[in-house]
Structure 1
Amino acid sequence: MAEVDARADRRSEGIVINDDWPGYSLDLFSYPAHYSGDLDCVIVPHGVIMDRTERLARNIMDDLGDHDIVVLCVLKGGYQFCADLVERIKALSRNSNHTIPMRVHFIRLRSYLNDQSTEDLHILGAEDLSFLAGKNVLIVEGIVGTGKTMETLLEHVKAFKPKMIKVAGLLVKRVQHSLASVPDYVGFEIPNRFVVGYALDYNEYFRDLNHICIISESGKKKYKV
């Protein structure tokens, strides 16, 4: 990635994609034909996501190896990242002296209408998380924007008195007025643009896209509700 600043020595920041990064031409990749005209560019190709996810799995193994953990997968946008991350942790556990026994629980957050985050946050499946008491928790999220949603979720989870909470976020947006809280494990820090693909959606579309792409203005209009 020509315009990427990889600050690999500061793991919590992830791979930094600069604001002036134009992305990759869609012509370089395969993607569903039904999204023709709906995308501007590929910002993170699928193969790069996979490689970065493997590195995050290694970091988590280094930090949490031999701890029992409960993985709290944030649906729907985090399901693909969570599935791939868990698979890579399991693969590392099979070939290591360290191991991480894992349970996976799913919750769903919803705060977006079209491309705008709203104050109306719904947490589904998190009404009773009493089984987290005394447990090591790894929250896995697809994307973190202002951090308000994550802060609300963290406060909710803390109320059930887990032993430890770590957060893995595939994407973190650079946005104004963002909260100081940053995931412990970050895949990519990206510009403040609306991205779709790899289970991230726009009104439930684009989840079937393997790459992470920037949606076009015509795409927003086409799928607006």
Structure 2
Amino acid sequence: MNSNSQENVNDLKDTEWRRYSEPIYIDKLRFHPKHFIIPFHYKKYIESVLLPHGLIRDRIEKLAQEIHDVFQNNELHLLCLLKGSRAFFSLLLFYLNKMNIYSQVKCSKPPYMEHYVRVKSYINDTPNSDGKLSIISEDLDCLKGKDILIVEDIIDTGNTLEKFCAWLEKLNPRRVLIASLLEKRTPKTNGIKANFAGFSVPDEFLIGFSLDYNEVFRDLDHICIMNTQALSDFAV
């Protein structure tokens, strides 16, 4: 372990919470769908493109660099919150592993370990009325005493993430940090923030890049704002 790696890990030990990556603030920026490749079956449902695919990829690569700078080659367990975080998680892990390939720090095993957890809390565009969180996962007993990075697609109210973190603490991890591609600016927030954050976005219901509306729009490359017709046509 090099000196910079040890220093960064010690920073984590001594700090309960800190922001390692400030999000890019997205306000009134909107793109017309006609300027991008949109699948035919979605064209009539997209109001505007908020984050083009290329911008998303570049931002994720930068987040990976910042995560790597903090953890270096120390063991880190990444938890993908399915299904919305799948695209973000896949690219983040790709860039982290790519950086590890060129790292000159010696290590006896892969530093980044991947896990998958299915978390569901929404019906249509609102949280479950009973407030319950559905969690399905593999056996995560291996996380005891380990550093964990939750990989989340979007922090909205923060209620789902807060409940999941409370559930995760029962496994007695060493430390839990959060990486979120998006943080929504909403008055409903409980104040929870990511340690590594991609974009700060307006209070809109966003779809695309694995974000869905009742399991639709996950295959859309860009992160978009859907129109009212989509809300009604795909409601359950």
Is contact 2:183-2:197 (8 Å) kept? yes
1:212 aligns with 2:205: no
**1:179: how far off?**
1.8
Instruction: Give the counterpart of 1:135 among 146, 162, 167.
Output: 146
For 1:3, the equivalent position in structure 2 comes to none
Amino acid at match of 1:162: P
1:70 aligns with 2:70: no
**1:81: how far off?**
0.4
Amino acid at match of 1:140: V
Is contact 2:209-2:219 (8 Å) kept? yes
For 1:203, the equivalent position in structure 2 comes to 214
Amino acid at match of 1:105: H
For 1:4, the equivalent position in structure 2 comes to none
Query: When the two structures are aligned, how many residues end up with a matched partner?
Result: 213
Question: What is the CA–CA distance in structure 2 between the aligned matches of 1:148 and 1:224, rounded to whole Å?
Answer: 23
Amino acid at match of 2:52: P
Question: What is the CA–CA distance in structure 1 between the aligned matches of 2:188 and 2:85, rounded to whole Å?
Answer: 23
**1:11: how far off?**
4.9
Instruction: Give the counterpart of 1:56 among 63, 69, 73.
Output: 63
For 2:9, the equivalent position in structure 1 comes to none
Question: What is the CA–CA distance in structure 2 between the aligned matches of 1:71 and 1:22, rounded to whole Å?
Answer: 31
Question: What is the CA–CA distance in structure 1 between the aligned matches of 2:213 and 2:199, rounded to whole Å?
Answer: 20
The one-character-per-residue Cα deviations of 1:106-143 (angstroms, maximum 9, x if unpaired) are 001111111112223211116x5221101111110111
% identity of equivalent residues: 36
For 1:5, the equivalent position in structure 2 comes to none
Question: What is the CA–CA distance in structure 1 between the aligned matches of 2:76 and 2:20, rounded to whole Å?
Answer: 21
Is contact 1:171-1:190 (8 Å) kept? yes
Amino acid at match of 1:113: I
**1:13: how far off?**
3.2
- What pairs up with 1:62-211 in 2 under 5 angstroms? 62-98=69-105, 101-118=111-128, 119-125=131-137, 128-211=139-222
Is contact 1:67-1:136 (8 Å) kept? no
Greater shift in the superposed pair: 46-55 or 109-118: 109-118
For 1:15, the equivalent position in structure 2 comes to 24
Displaced runs of 4 or more, over 3 A:
10-13
Amino acid at match of 1:42: V
Question: What is the CA–CA distance in structure 1 between the aligned matches of 2:30 and 2:171, rounded to whole Å?
Answer: 42
Amino acid at match of 1:33: F
Task: Provide the secondary structure at the position in 2 that maps to 1:120.
Answer: coil
Amino acid at match of 1:65: Q
TM-score normalised by the chain length of structure 2: 0.86
Question: What is the CA–CA distance in structure 2 between the aligned matches of 1:23 and 1:31, rounded to whole Å?
Answer: 15
Structure 1 unaligned regions, length at least 5: 1-9
Question: What is the CA–CA distance in structure 2 between the aligned matches of 1:65 and 1:179, rounded to whole Å?
Answer: 31
For 1:7, the equivalent position in structure 2 comes to none
Is contact 1:71-1:102 (8 Å) kept? yes
Is contact 1:135-1:162 (8 Å) kept? yes
Amino acid at match of 1:213: C
